[in-house]
Chain A
Amino acid sequence: MSSRERILGRVQRALADVPPDDTPYDQAIERAYLGEHGNRSVEETVDLLAENLADYRAIVHRTDADELPCLIMRLLAERGPRSVLVPPGLPPEWMSAADATRVHDRAVSTPHELDTVESVVTGCALAIAETGTIVLDGSPDQGRRRITLVPDHHICVVRVPDQVVSSVPQALRRLAPNRPLTWISGPSATSDIELDRVEGVHGPRTLEVVLVSGE
């Protein structure tokens, strides 16, 4: 007998007390929790996102579509003469004012090569206001998961208000499970020393989120 059969057999014997007409899934779970917390206007939801992002030490900028290229140029320039990773489908105008050398992530690029690049600029799939979270789903304007991981500086552009949802349940409804997803809430952190939160371990130690309107 294979271990698969053995384990499934054990499970079935262990559940001898469960009747065949046990309550089905859709009736067994009472979803009395809220779809979102509180009543907010669209502007207030965007404000809450900015507030919660900042609370977990992301640096938040607000701008409009016209000013975006200049802002990105300035954010990169502030960190010295740099190379920057760009995903394949990043809108070219976002980078139109930037001086930094653009590096493209190819399938054959090694992690060591990526480690020499200091910054990365991406879009996102959506952002969650209540938790201060941005979610990446590997779309062309975000690239592979590794490009937002290895560089030490991540600039993430969120189109507001279109890409902003209030809550975790709303976010899950808009995301596709079969895509590789990364939920990011502030820069890398740890609570492992005396259960106190410290920013900056393995992921990007600086996370800048640009909330752009009219994009």
Chain B
Amino acid sequence: MSGTFVGMPAFPKAAHEAVHNSTLRGNLRHATHTIRAKRANAVAEVSDWAALREAGKQIKDHTLRHLDRYLVQLEESVTAAGGTVHWAADAEEANRIVTRLVKETGESEVVKVKSMATQEIGLNEALEEEGIRAYETDLAELIVQLGKDRPSHILVPAIHRNRGEIRDIFAREMSEWGRPAPDGLTDTPAELAEAARLHLREKFLRAKVGVSGANFMVAETGTMVVVESEGNGRMCLTLPETLISVVGIEKTVPTWQDLEVFLQTLPRSSTAERMNPYTSMWTGTTNSETADGPQTFHLVLLDNGRTDTLADEVGRQALRCIRCSACLNVCPVYERAGGHAYGSVYPGPIGAILSPQLRGTDSEIDSSLPYASSLCGACYEVCPVAIDIPEVLVHLRERVVEGGQVTREGNKVVLKPAKGHVAERAAMRAARWAFARPGVLRTGQRLASRTRRLHPRSLPGPGKAWSDSRALPALPSEPFRDWWQRTRGGSGKDGGK
């Protein structure tokens, strides 16, 4: 994944710093609460939301279960429509392919549509090293790029910035990259949007190469779909002569009809709109007579850990994700810790299950991500493709603690249990031993009840930190099973019916 995130501290440490930043917390609270209420209304407007959600889940599951077949079909359709398909096993290969394709055009700059896949592979940095400048054109991406910052949200990468901060970044940095910000720029959103329009227009008009991702790829027709709001996507997809789209292999859907589900669920889930302002669909290239849009189209199909994720029968559901970011907006942990603490371009609940699967759980940050959750389940409730994020989190926690077989770059490897978690493993072993021996359990429970007046109010040793902010549960004077034996549920010896 992106080099920007290498060497990130574990989630608890990064989050600890973030929660003490009151500006950040205020910005996130304001933004996530605004969108939360709006999304609920947008979803309530369609009476068949549950059926759409289920169909979306089934389409994605079916596609993933036959992904090899659909990828081959997609390749055929795109090729037949005049496009060229490339396959990239990892980030490095994808960057190499895109760099080569740009160089072949003789250009030294590209305009970019916001794309998670190209962020994931660190494409901008790779192009920069080869002397090619990539201009981000999505407003939030522009804010991040000008501010030399990192993205903190899937949909709105600059969600951690408020309007005042954005004004300052524009006023300070725009002249470095091209047309300077207008004099006397204020912090009203309309003026900020106007400044971005003026700044980027010259870049759109002269651009010869566009780089994008895609929200969906239709296998049967070879159609690519990009969903956006601002029109920067349309600019990059139609004005340049060459278009290069880097897309994760899991973005495939089998048929044209399948779009009817996602074009209803994605806008409502992500920006709480009945429909987003602009959706572009294109199939290969048009013939020279119509000459509408780029006359050269390259599709780079990206693996980069996706097939490894696919190999995990529990974890593969993360590949259903359509990147709406509803799970970020409802997450109490995300709201307080912010996106940077997740150490990945995919923050929030979906990031906590996606990053450790795409990258493996070897690093400090990745092995801590499955714990970046209170398991409240709000993310699962709002997910438009019903990804059971808590289920995958628990599954990944087990993998971190216990180790076991996983797939890495296509090979099966056995992970050792992670360092740390010693007390957790010992406690689980003790519990397993006690629960398997009813006599021992009974004796232990009685002993605990009788000595309850002697119990400390906080835990000793390493448990102290945990009990500093939590009350230990009070033990009853009599274990439940003894009480049951004595009273039969409080209704005499025939009670309990």
A contacts, CB < 8 Å to B: 2-4, 6-15, 17-18, 22-23, 25, 28-34, 37, 52, 56, 107, 110-112, 115, 128, 130-133, 138, 144-146, 149-150, 168-169, 172-173, 177-204
Contact = CB atoms under 8 A, between A and B. Distances in A.
Contacts of A13: 311, 407, 410
B221 interface: yes
A22 B277 CA distance: 39
Nearest to A15: B65
B234 A149 contact: yes
Given A2-B87, A7-B87, A178-B221, A190 B257 contact: no
Contacts of B218: 177
B257 A22 contact: no
A110 B205 CA distance: 8
B197 A200 contact: yes
A192 B139 contact: yes
B310 A11 contact: yes
A111 B31 contact: no
Interface string B203-230: 0111000000000001001010000011
B238 A149 contact: yes
B286 interface: yes
Contact of A189 (B51, B58, B159, B230): B230
**For the complex of A and B, 6 pairs with smallest distance between CB atoms:** A203-B231, A202-B231, A14-B311, A10-B307, A201-B230, A131-B275
A42 to B, nearest CB: 20
A196 B260 CA distance: 26
B497 interface: no
A180 B279 CA distance: 11
Contacts of B55: 29-33
Contacts of A188: 229-231, 277-278
B292 A182 contact: no
B190 A191 contact: no
B263 interface: yes
Interface in B275-316: 275-283, 286, 288, 290-293, 301, 303, 307-308, 310-311, 313, 316
Nearest to B282: A180
B229 A30 contact: no
Contacts of B230: 188-190, 192, 201-203
Given A177-B223, A188-B231, A138 B290 contact: yes
B109 interface: no
A201 B193 contact: yes
A195 B234 contact: no
A181 B204 contact: no
A37 B46 contact: yes
Given A7-B89, A28-B62, A168-B260, A34 B47 contact: yes
Given A33-B264, A172-B257, 20 more contacts: A3-B93, A15-B66, A18-B65, A28-B61, A30-B54, A30-B58, A107-B288, A111-B239, A132-B275, A149-B238, A149-B239, A150-B205, A168-B275, A172-B260, A177-B223, A180-B282, A182-B280, A192-B138, A193-B193, A194-B189
Interface of B: 27, 30-32, 34-35, 46-48, 51-52, 54-55, 58-59, 61-62, 65-68, 71-72, 81, 87-89, 93, 137-140, 143, 155-156, 158-159, 162-163, 166, 189-190, 192-194, 196-197, 200-201, 204-206, 218, 221, 223, 229-232, 234-235, 238-239, 249, 254-261, 263-264, 271, 273-283, 286, 288, 290-293, 301, 303, 307-308, 310-311, 313, 316, 407, 410
A66 to B, nearest CB: 32
Contacts of A192: 138-140, 143, 156, 158, 230
B87 A203 contact: no
A24 to B, nearest CB: 9
Contact of A193 (B51, B93, B166): B166
Contact of B31 (A110, A181, A194, A202): A194
Nearest to A193: B189
Contacts of B258: 29
B256 A172 contact: yes
B263 A168 contact: yes
B28 to A, nearest CB: 10
Contact of B293 (A37, A144, A200, A202): A144
14 contacts: A3-B87, A15-B68, A29-B258, A32-B51, A32-B55, A133-B275, A178-B223, A181-B279, A181-B282, A193-B139, A195-B156, A199-B190, A201-B139, A202-B235
Nearest to A19: B65
Contacts of A6: 87, 89, 410
A184 B72 CA distance: 32
Nearest to A28: B62
A177 B281 contact: yes
A14 B283 contact: no
